Structure 1
Amino acid sequence: MTETILQVTNLKKHFPITGGVFGKKVGEMKAVDGVSFSVKEGETLGIVGESGCGKSTTGRMLLRLIEPTDGQILFNNQDLRTLPQKEMRKVRRNIQMVFQDPFASLNPRHTVEKILEEPLIVHGIGDTAERKQKVKEMLEVVGLSSYHAKRYPHQFSGGQRQRIGIARALMTNPKLIIADEPVSALDVSIQSQVLNLLKDLQKEFKLTYIFIAHDLGVVRHISDRVGVMYKGRIVELAESEKIYQRPMHPYTQQLLSAVPIPDPDYYKAGAASAVQFGQLPEEYYVDESWKDIKADRPGLVEVELGHFVACHTR
């Protein structure tokens, strides 16, 4: 049996809403409101949903780049929420992140060599000569050359910059990588190259991924399991092919119906209008305004082996 490397339970992030001259708290915005999932060693968990659903906030909370409001994050059976910042820094050696915008996440004043050396310096790994050798090796691993080490980020294309971002994440030999929309800023022709690189690296370095995206096609290509987020919660969680072949939650069905299909006859026949995106039937809404149901927010229920759905009607 593959061991569970990460267990997230009831994770929440509520941002205060202030108003008035003195900035008095008048409410809160529930960006993430009770997310639970687990990730097994060596697998890729995809988290998908529309903009604003809380998927990126969830990813950043796992590294405590954003402090959670509530919940538990167990990494190798260690509760990350209880760790002081000094201890949390040590944990980040084993958990790294690849960010969405490869240009914004790289310091424009530093050479690639300095950017890649920084994680090694922070964690006290190797001496100067060993670090420089590691930089050269990692550039070659991600498909770049050692002479690129002396260049600056603006001298690279978007795809090359993202390869540098991936190389930086790999410098400390992490066990878990959180990829936050890593290909959404890239051309379609480059996306597949980066996705294939991530899959190859996973095999070579025995990595575990949490892959966050809004593009369902990308998530299907790389994920073993998929969690669908809606309004700060996971509403469906199952193996990738189960999600795509037999979606059970109406929101998942809407997401899939919005994926463009390269067939003009499909749209002429009116098949795409079967579900109106953004117009969930009233009984499926899971906010506090739904008064006729005892449990105002349904939890995930295992409707079949390994397939979890949050829905009042099931």
Structure 2
Amino acid sequence: MSQPLLEVKELKKHFPITGGVLGKEVGQVKAVDGVTFFIREGETLGLVGESGCGKSTTGRMLLRLIEPTEGEVTFNGKKITSISGSEMRKMRRDIQMVFQDPYASLNPRHTVEKILEEPMIVHGIEKNSKKRKQKVRELLEKVGLSSYHAKRYPHQFSGGQRQRIGIARALAVKPKLIVADEPVSALDVSVQAQVLNLLQDLQKEFDLTFLFIAHDLGVVRHISDRVGVMYLGKLVELAGSEKLYEKPLHPYTQALLSAVPVPDVEHKKERIVLQGDVPSPSNPPKGCPFHTRCPEAMDVCKQVVPKFQEVEQDHYVACHLYEDNKSI
């Protein structure tokens, strides 16, 4: 089994809430609250959860596009949470991001050629202009576009084509890890499958490692080796993709998976309907963050935060039901 390329320990991001005439801090939004996981070289880790659970914030902290409040991120043996800004800029050659919105993530004033050339210039990858332009054309063909698209502007492309340009831009610097932040959520269903297949093909060809952030559980199952489930800024479960879908342990994961449409009527699971709304991350409940909506909640859940621990081989869960492996 390959070594972890990326390790995240107790990562937190608390955004201040200010109020009053003087703008004093009156509270905090705990967007990410103590997340721990690792990604092995060459694998895809899927990160799922409801909107606002902290998935995208986690992804952006890995590149320090958002500075963490606490915690540690180690990439390829180097702690990137403690290096300087200039060192981090160099490190971004190895960690790239594909953004959710293909309309907002490309500069509308630049041609595709300039968009793809820019990261090569910044990181000093190819100093010869003619070779750079040739590399741009090769990249476009790798992602399913044509070399003549290089002279066009982003507004002349469809959403799926723009996302392919975003993928090509990430590949331009030959990264080791790509953080894909909901890369298909803004696309039509037919185009989603094409982009997912493209990512899998590129992973094999370029030996890439992915953190794939999404809220669609079907999409995540298709592309991920392991899946982590987030709720209210915390990881509640992490396991191999097949294991998680066949035998979810956390009540929140069970509820999420029960809502996924299943074509086979005989194997259809009973729908678990959660009561109430997701609590505010500025005022999370005491104890387990899920206890206010959990059908299995016990008294201990209202007081004590459950540990995120390994209950089976490579299967982690944060739930009092499984402490000391009682319910496995």
Partner of 1:32: 32
Q: Specify whether residues 288 and 258 from structure 1 end up closer, same or farther in structure 2 by C-alpha distance, changes over 3 A only.
A: closer
Give the letter aligned to residue 182 of structure 1. P
Give the letter aligned to residue 203 of structure 1. K
Partner of 1:55: 55
Partner of 1:181: 182
Partner of 2:274: 277
Figure out how many residues of one structure are paired with residues of the other and give that number.
Answer: 309
Matches of 2:291 and 2:83, distance apart in 1: 33
User: Pairwise mapping of residues 116-265 of structure 1 onto structure 2 (< 5 A)?
Assistant: 116-126=116-126, 127-262=128-263
Q: CA deviation at 1:33?
A: 0.3
Q: CA deviation at 1:313?
A: 2.1
Q: CA deviation at 1:57?
A: 0.1
1:4-44 deviation per Cα after TM superposition (whole angstroms, max 9, x unaligned): 10000000000011111111111111000000000000000
SS in 2 for 1:229: strand
Partner of 1:286: 289
SS in 2 for 1:81: coil
User: Pairwise mapping of residues 72-87 of structure 1 onto structure 2 (< 5 A)?
Assistant: 72-87=72-87
Give the letter aligned to residue 171 of structure 2. L
User: Pairwise mapping of residues 11-22 of structure 1 onto structure 2 (< 5 A)?
Assistant: 11-22=11-22
Quick check: 1:311 aligned with 2:319?
yes
Matches of 2:156 and 2:265, distance apart in 1: 41
Q: Specify whether residues 182 and 150 from structure 1 end up closer, same or farther in structure 2 by C-alpha distance, changes over 3 A only.
A: same
Unaligned stretches of 5+ residues in structure 1: none
Q: CA deviation at 1:285?
A: 3.8
Q: Pairwise CA RMSD of aligned residues?
A: 2.3
1:239-281 deviation per Cα after TM superposition (whole angstroms, max 9, x unaligned): 00011000000000111112233478999xxx644x113559x
Q: CA deviation at 1:296?
A: 2.4
Contact 2:102 2:163 in 1 (8 A): yes
Q: Specify whether residues 237 and 158 from structure 1 end up closer, same or farther in structure 2 by C-alpha distance, changes over 3 A only.
A: same
Give the letter aligned to residue 217 of structure 1. G
Matches of 1:231 and 1:199, distance apart in 2: 30
Contact 1:283 1:312 in 2 (8 A): no
Give the letter aligned to residue 229 of structure 1. M
SS in 1 for 2:320: coil
Partner of 1:113: 113
Give the letter aligned to residue 312 of structure 1. H
Question: With structure 2 as the length reference, what TM-score do the two structures score?
Answer: 0.89
Contact 1:288 1:297 in 2 (8 A): no
Contact 1:255 1:277 in 2 (8 A): no
Question: With structure 1 as the length reference, what TM-score do the two structures score?
Answer: 0.93
Q: CA deviation at 1:150?
A: 0.2
Unaligned stretches of 5+ residues in structure 2: 278-284, 293-297, 323-328
Contact 1:287 1:296 in 2 (8 A): no
1:256-312 deviation per Cα after TM superposition (whole angstroms, max 9, x unaligned): 112233478999xxx644x113559x9984379998569721121211111111002
User: How much identity, in percent, do the aligned residues show?
Assistant: 68
Superposition misfits of 4+ residues, deviation over 4 angstroms: 262-267, 287-295
